[in-house]
Chains A and B, each alone.
Chain A
Amino acid sequence: MSARNRELFALIPASLLVTVGFAAVFIQEDELISDASLTYGGVFLGLCFVAHLIIRATLPDADPYLFPLVALLACFGLVMIYRIDETLAREQAQWFVIGLLVFAATILLLRRDYRVLERYRYTIALVGIVLLLLPRVPGIGAQVNGAYLGIDLGPIAFQPAELAKICIIIFLASYLRDTRQVLVQGARRFAGITFPPLKHLGPLLVVWGAAMVLLVFIRDLGSSLMFFGAFLAILYVATDRASFVVIGFSMFAFGAWFFASTVGHVADRIDAWQHPFDDELYEQVGGSYQIAQSLFAQADGGVAGAGFGQALIETSNGSPILPAAQTDLIYALITNELGLAGACGVLVVYLLVTERGMRIAMLAQDSFSTLLAAGLAAVFALQVFVIVGGVVKLIPLTGVTLPFISYGGSSIVANFILVALLLLISDRARREAAGR
């Protein structure tokens, strides 16, 4: 089977999942089987088919599994959000279509050679930084749960950090392509670890400083960890020096500890994370109610889950039991309704997407492509880690989205751009590897 036929074939199970998922939700809510679920499945398949045709025409050698895996995630998102609220699901479906359009536009725009991005690296970096700081601009910035992640422009609200992450990765990949050879010179070995000379810690210090500023400015440990972790991943791929990673993480841990004990908002979050069942914190506004309910919901799911539509999201008088179920806590909702089995399935999908990304990075023939693919895969994986880790109380809960599943336009659009870039890199890499 050729790569493109594999992709087409893999879209069928994804569409079947939409059909089955919607049918299950319909039965539970209306107690009747409606053929609307078939329609939804058909429309979903049609949309994916159009995107598939675009990939077939422009990127014939691209990775065959990436797009179907993404479609599967989007299907999870649509079914779960529909189950929460019909109007939200309709908006999400619109965003899915817009995401596909942006996806197609990115591919068409960069299909000649995506490496032109390297030429605009400083512009791209500037755009990324401006996007990150936008939520703090008075008037348009919006504070959610104490973190400055979103901006609000009347009808449009979006999370600029989602787009910023792609800009920052492009910049880091092209910057480190040039400087990596310098960074590994003159290293010293001590106690079995290779230490870089002090002067080459400069870039590390600068990015660490930026991550700390981010932490204080945006007040979100999760996105700060996501950016810094992705930077360390690219740095490791570029230099093959584990010492950079060790030093970087120690610095980050120190900085996070310092700000956690001095900045009030961060400290509150840490408290809620460590003692979610504390009576006082549980009752507090912005306290541990959300994380505690998330844990209850997941425990309620068991191994096979309670079934579609069975989770309690709000009480009969409309006050929420599972707050922000469509965004932050959507993973908890999936665990509640589909159980450990469903949640593991979702995590395996993310794992496979990351594996495809790393595979593309290994196949790529030039350093910029390798670094870019590795960076994009790393930031994607870290985003999943940050939000799922928060929901299962491994790390403090933060407000980043679960890619392609969470409700939210900017997240879907940005992640579609990310996947488009990965497909562009893999098309070139696989064509060159095959000697064509």
Chain B
Amino acid sequence: MVEPASVALKFAFLAILYLFLLWVARSALKDLRRGTVAGGMAVAPGHDRAPAASPDATGLHSAAQGVGIGGDTPRLVVTSVPGHQPGAAYDLVGDCTLGRGDVEIHLEDPFASGRHARLTRQGHVIVLEDLGSTNGTYLNEEPVQGPQPLHPGDRIRIGDSVFTFEDS
């Protein structure tokens, strides 16, 4: 036998369930809308996203771009480096070393080692390698282990010094 109270409770159960789901789904939608309006802002500053990437680029897209195309000289642009003008750029023609010592790209950074990291050209690709530095080299905020190929828009950080890699 079906109790009327039981039927009422069943519908109460379903009503609570759906009201709750509606509330969560609405907040989720609001989240999504905020994400698109702000463009990259809320989400983007950070890893792997090339500044020039199309607006629909999600997350890890840029790994697929710009490998081995060549063209203009790849450049290392100063984002924020103590003692350097932001926006200044180094053309990466041959191999070069970054560090606090007597090297091609000199850093006035207490966290940099004498010979900290090296950029080498391998075919059409520029490869970043940490030279066993004390405080490590970070590619898009991830510690560099072994040689890492660079992609346009990659951020290289050594201590407080930040460079952006550009390649057209």
Listed in ascending order, the chain A residues whose CB lies under 8 Å from chain B are 6, 10, 13-14, 16-17, 20-21, 23-24, 27-28, 31, 33, 65, 68-69, 72, 177-178, 180-181, 184-187, 237-241, 304-305, 307-310, 337-338, 341-342, 345, 348-349, 352, 355-356, 359, 361-363, 365-368, 370, 432-433
Contact = CB atoms under 8 A, between A and B. Distances in A.
B68 A10 contact: no
- Max chain A CB contacts within 10 Å: which of B18, B21, B25? B21
Contacts of A304: 10-11, 14
B82 interface: no
Contact of A367 (B11, B17, B25, B47): B47
Contact of A352 (B3, B12, B21, B64): B21
Interface range on chain B (Cβ under 8 Å from partner): 35 or more
A69 B2 CA distance: 30
B148 interface: yes
Contacts of A185: 67-68, 149
B6 A239 contact: no
Contacts of B5: 27, 33
Interface in B98-119: none
Contacts of B63: 180-181, 184, 238-240
Nearest to B20: A13
Contacts of A308: 6, 9-10, 13
A300 to B, nearest CB: 14
Contacts of B21: 345, 348-349, 352
- B10, B48, B63 — most chain A CB neighbours (10 Å): B10
B32 to A, nearest CB: 8
Contacts of A186: 67-68
A20 B67 CA distance: 59
B52 interface: no
B64 A307 contact: no
B73 interface: no
Contacts of A31: 3
In the A-B complex, the 8 residue pairs with the smallest Cβ-Cβ separation, listed nearest first, are: A24-B9, A13-B20, A365-B46, A345-B17, A27-B6, A20-B13, A184-B64, A240-B64
Interface string B20-31: 110111011001
Contact of A433 (B3, B18, B43, B67): B43
Contacts of B58: 362
Contact of B17 (A342, A359, A366): A342
Given A304-B10, A342-B14, 20 more contacts: A10-B20, A24-B6, A24-B9, A27-B3, A72-B17, A181-B63, A181-B151, A184-B63, A184-B64, A185-B67, A239-B63, A240-B60, A307-B10, A308-B9, A338-B13, A352-B21, A363-B43, A367-B60, A367-B140, A370-B60
A13 B16 contact: yes
B42 to A, nearest CB: 6
Interface residues of chain B: helix, strand, loop or mixed (majority): helix
Contacts of A240: 60-61, 63-64
B142 interface: yes
27 contacts: A13-B20, A17-B17, A21-B9, A27-B9, A65-B24, A68-B24, A72-B17, A181-B151, A184-B63, A186-B67, A238-B63, A239-B60, A239-B63, A239-B64, A240-B63, A240-B64, A304-B10, A341-B14, A345-B17, A345-B18, A352-B24, A361-B59, A362-B43, A363-B43, A365-B141, A370-B59, A370-B60
Interface string B143-161: 0010011010000000000
A305 B59 contact: no
A72 B20 contact: yes
Nearest to B10: A307
Which of B20, B23, B58 gathers most chain A CB within 10 Å? B20
A366 B24 contact: no
A352 B25 contact: yes
Contact of B20 (A14, A241, A342): A14
Contacts of B12: 20
A193 to B, nearest CB: 13
Contacts of B27: 6, 65
A264 B9 CA distance: 47
A355 B25 CA distance: 10
Contact of A359 (B28, B149, B151): B28
B60 A20 contact: no
Contacts of B10: 24, 304-305, 307-308, 337-338
B142 to A, nearest CB: 6
B7 interface: yes
B37 interface: no
A310 B12 CA distance: 17
B13 A24 contact: yes
B68 A366 contact: no
A363 B20 CA distance: 24
A181 B58 CA distance: 16
A16 B14 CA distance: 11
Contacts of B23: 10
Contacts of A23: 9
Contacts of A370: 59-60
A20 B9 contact: yes
A257 to B, nearest CB: 31
